[in-house]
Structure 1
Amino acid sequence: MKTYSGAIKKLNNHREAYREHISLLSARGELTAPAVLAYCDKIIAAIAPDKLTAEESKKLEAATDSLIGDMCLEYEFDKPRKLVG
């Protein structure tokens, strides 16, 4: 069974693949808030356990947003949820 800590481990283990995707979005001129948010949601759906508490779900979303948002900053793009929120 998947766990919250396992999801966080996967998030960190796939960091370079995520960075490559963000780089591709930037190169194609598609590094927009909606595209980045959709990518964050796709990552969460792929790594999240079937059952998370509300607190774990918020923490996983925050960790994903932070990791991907930091990568976006390398391309002078602001953190995605702050743009939309």
Structure 2
Amino acid sequence: MMSIICLLGFNALLVAVAVSSRYASFIKPILGIILSVIIMRLFQVYNIPALTALFILSTWIILIFKFNYLHSFKKLVVINKK
């Protein structure tokens, strides 16, 4: 049980460091931590060994969401300027 708690904290910390080094906002690292904890719980329910997959998945999801959000926002701005 203790190893699961340590792994949960370790992955959440890695996500927070990776996301905060990329974005200045404090909201993105907090969302990454919450996402990492949720994914860890899903892995526990299905008995999948998590290791550092949580860090990778959480970081990718935050980065992909940010890219898609900015990309769609830029399209909206370009359309409105015409």
TM-score, scaled relative to structure 2: 0.39
TM-score, scaled relative to structure 1: 0.38
Point out the structure with the larger helix share. 2
Q: Taking CA–CA contacts closer than 8 Å with sequence separation of 6 or more, which of the two structures ends up with the larger relative contact order? A: 1
Bigger-Rg structure (1/2):
2
